[in-house]
Amino acid sequence: MGSSPTPALGTSGGGAGGWRWHGGNGSGKINSNSSKSGNGNGNNEACVLSSTFAYFLLSVVVLGAIGSLYGRYMVTPNVRTGITAPGCLDDSEGSWALGVFYGDSPFSLRPIEAMNVWKDKSAAWPVANPVMTCASLSDAGFPSNFVADPFLYIQGDVLYLFYETKNSITWQGDIAVAQSTDKGATWQQLGIALDEEWHLSYPYVFDYNGNMYMVPEGSLNGDVRIYRATNFPLKWTLEKIILKKPIVDSSIVIHEGKLWLFGSDNSGIGTERNGQLELWHSDSPLGPWKPHKKNPIYNTDRTLGARNGGRPFVYNGNLYRVGQDCGETYGRKIRVFKIEVLTTDEFKEVEVPFSLEESTKGRNAWDGARNHHLDVQQLSSGEWIAVVDGDRVPSGDSVRRFILGLASVVSVGALIVLIGILLGAVRCVVPLSWCPHNVGKRSDTTVLAWERPNLSSKLRLLCSRLNRASSTLRARTRSNTCIGTVVLAITIAVAVTLTCAGVRYVYGGSGAQEAYPLNGHYSQFTLVTMTYDARLWNLNMYVKHYSRCSSVREIVVIWNKGVPPQASAFDSAVPIRIRVEQKNSLNNRFKVDPLIKTRAVLELDDDIMMSCDDVERGFRVWREHPDRIVGFYPRLVDGRPLTYRGEKHARKYNGYNVILTGAAFLDSHTAFERYWSKEAAIGRALVDSYFNCEDVLMNYLYANASSSASVEYVRPAWAIDTSKFSGVAISRNTQAHYGIRSKCLQKFAEMYGSLAERKLEFSRRKDGWDV
């Protein structure tokens, strides 16, 4: 008698749990043909998995290479420039720094760079904001992510600055203090003045009856504490807990014989965060403090400046309160209010016009995104000084970048699968073997319960549907058709774009191309370019790009020919000046210009485009070597007779002795005066006769004036000659151009001596920027 077919648990090839019938011979043996077929399917499945794995590996390698190249050449690394010690970590609260401003009144404040304060030791001509960053404190041995909430304490000619520092190790706020003896241009870090077990900020420092007090914000501890200095400025002791409320940003001021405390309590139900303000009064800073009858004074929109933003100040007999607008982001900008009525029963204030110079450089400016704190005080000279904090990014920027970077990576993964499906390298989205399914025995008593839909069967059904959808997509969009090719190309392009976006968000940090400080100081330079009417297209793009570099103070356009444009016609983030010349001469590039306000000038041709980070690195190297020509295009002048060659020749012989001044930093005082000296008159005449070689002449003049190195090279990550796109390149015939310059070399060598012995090797500096 033959055996009957026996039902067994299993799955069909296309769906959820179903029946799989095994034919048998009564002894449980499986047909040999079935066995062979199974082995064939296994080998085929292994082959498919192997090819799929190879596809994914290749995709990761290719997109990884693209992302690496993009990160190498197009993205500034996510590191804070100038930091040599632990600190300056990416922080969701921001990258706050501190700046100094001066004015004849609190309402006419200008940044320190506008005052032309020069410091020779750090080659800061002039000193520029910020005067203090996370690097300032980190390099002094106190790792910090950012510095904010500055308060001044003035003792004669000595300024003390108390401020919040976000500790890079504990990730909590401490109170640090620094000292200045030159009106805030240079600060010496003294150390940490106050460190508690909870977060501290807003160190409100003031005098009262011969004692020095500090009321820092410690709202996370749920109270307001007042500390007294026992050994100013670094030793403080807790004097008293004056309010048992989590008050934010407490400010105390004396008005008409009574002390007033302004602060915000964001803990109450129905409180508008950063839009609430309360007021207390007392006869002593130690209390008792009584609430104002109209508390809360404000519980309104956060854009209206309710939250304190610094020390209240008195000007012309009027009391002013500083608030912060937290509308677009926390601490977006500072607002000032004139207090008209302040009694135990009434309070009234009105907003008055107030603004600091807002940069349009975006994230390349140290305060491009927000300012939220101001302390302005009058010096003994009658001048007003203010300390302000600023940030180049909005609140929560690092979290936003992480989310966008993660989303980009996930999207790239999905697109890799999609491309694989279109190419046929991926046969299924989710292998069914990955989906859970029932494998146990079915008994008659449990058959009804087993046949009900369960979670594993639903997941397996979902997997099957995804795989059928991928098969349908591949069938409808074949890669060998026109539509399929277009879809595939678009998908690949999107994957590459998202890869680059992910690299930018993860590796590139905030996207800011920051300046590089030297000895704790930032500075500025003037950008000088020479052009004429036919190259206006180049100039428009040039001005828009370079005016947003952090250290650029002004752009001077030397107009050699044609009708000059109006300065207002350019999209510039800095002042632009058109200097019209009477004679079309290359010597005009180095003409002495008393209106230039910086010591450093960057002579940069209008057809050269490079990143702001490259420009900032060149400026940093020039500040280390202000007596040299520091630039981006090296040449090696050698041979008999002397022959002008391109950069490849310099690379071949691993050295250079000339830097082209079409992209180079110079000392505007020394270089221009040297170029227009009597000794250089014959050389200038040669430049006019050839209409060429002004940069070569400058190199000879520098070398002739120094027995040591006269040039330094900085390698740009990338540089583009935009004249190639506009058809107005000055030196189109390279061979003829090089021939003229070779003649110049020979004649200049006769006049000023040879450069052949001045060869410098690449990769000789420790910064690694001259490779």
Instruction: Find the radius of gyration of the CA atoms of the chain.
Output: 35
Residue from 64, 128, 156, 162 nearest 619 by CA? 128
Q: Judge whether 389 counts as a catalytic residue.
A: no
* Runs of H (alpha helix) within 79-145: 134-139
Q: What contacts 314, CB < 8 A, 6 or more positions away?
A: 320
Residue 389: which H helix or E strand, with range? strand 384-391
Q: How far is CA 504 from CA 22, 92, 509, 510, in A?
A: 57, 17, 7, 9
Cα distance from N-terminal residue to C-terminal residue, the chain = 89
What is the rounded distance in angstroms from the CA atom of residue 164 to the CA atom of residue 99? 14
Q: On the CB side of 619, how many CA atoms lie within 13 Å of its CA?
A: 35
- Cα torsion angle, 195, 200, 204, 209, sign: negative
Q: How far apart are CA 254 and CA 283, in angstroms?
A: 9
Q: Report the DSSP beta bridge partners of residue 578.
A: 557
Whether cis (ω within 30° of 0) applies to the bond prior to 233 is yes
Pick the closest to residue 750 from 695, 704, 685, 698 (CA basis).
704
Task: Return the amino acid letter for 277.
Answer: L
Query: Are the C-beta atoms of 161 and 180 separated by less than 8 Å?
Result: yes
Q: How big is the CA angle at 427 (ends 425 and 430), to the nearest 5 degrees?
A: 120
Alpha-helical runs (H) found in 22-94: 32-74
| C-alpha to C-alpha distances, 655 to 61, 225, 647, 712, 715, nearest whole angstrom | 36, 64, 10, 11, 13
Active-site hit among 91, 397, 614, 695: 695
176: Cβ contacts below 8 Å, ≥ 6 apart: 137, 142, 144, 147, 162, 163, 164, 165, 189, 190, 191, 192, 193
Q: Which two tokens stand for residue 642?
A: 């002397």
Pick the closest to residue 558 from 579, 583, 536 (CA basis): 579
Q: Cα-flanking dihedrals φ and ψ of residue 531, to 5°?
A: -155, -175
Q: Are strands 629-631 and 711-713 parallel, antiparallel or unpaired?
A: parallel
Q: Are 388 and 98 in contact (CB under 8 A)?
A: yes
Q: What angle do CA 145, 150, 153 make, to 5 degrees?
A: 135
CB neighbours of residue 207 within 10 Å: 10
Confirm if 372 and 308 have CB atoms less than 8 A apart. no
Closest by alpha carbon to 132, among 188, 76, 81, 202? Answer: 188
CA–CA dist 768, 77 (Å, integer)? 15
Closest CA to 371 of 336, 332, 335: 332
Burial 719-752 (b: 16+ CB within 10 A, else e): eeebbeeeebeeeeeeeeeeebbbbbbebbbeeb
Structure tokens at 315: 């000007």
The span from the CA of 18 to the CA of 127, in Å, is 79
Asked whether the beta carbons of 17 and 460 are under 8 A apart, the reply is yes
Q: Closest Cα to residue 598, out of 109, 98, 128, 122?
A: 128
Query: If you write DSSP's letter for every residue of 235-283 in order, what string do you get?
Result: EEEEEEEEE-S-EEEEEEEEETTEEEEEEEETTSTT--TTSEEEEEEES
Q: Which two tokens stand for residue 84?
A: 């040599």
Active-site residue list: 695
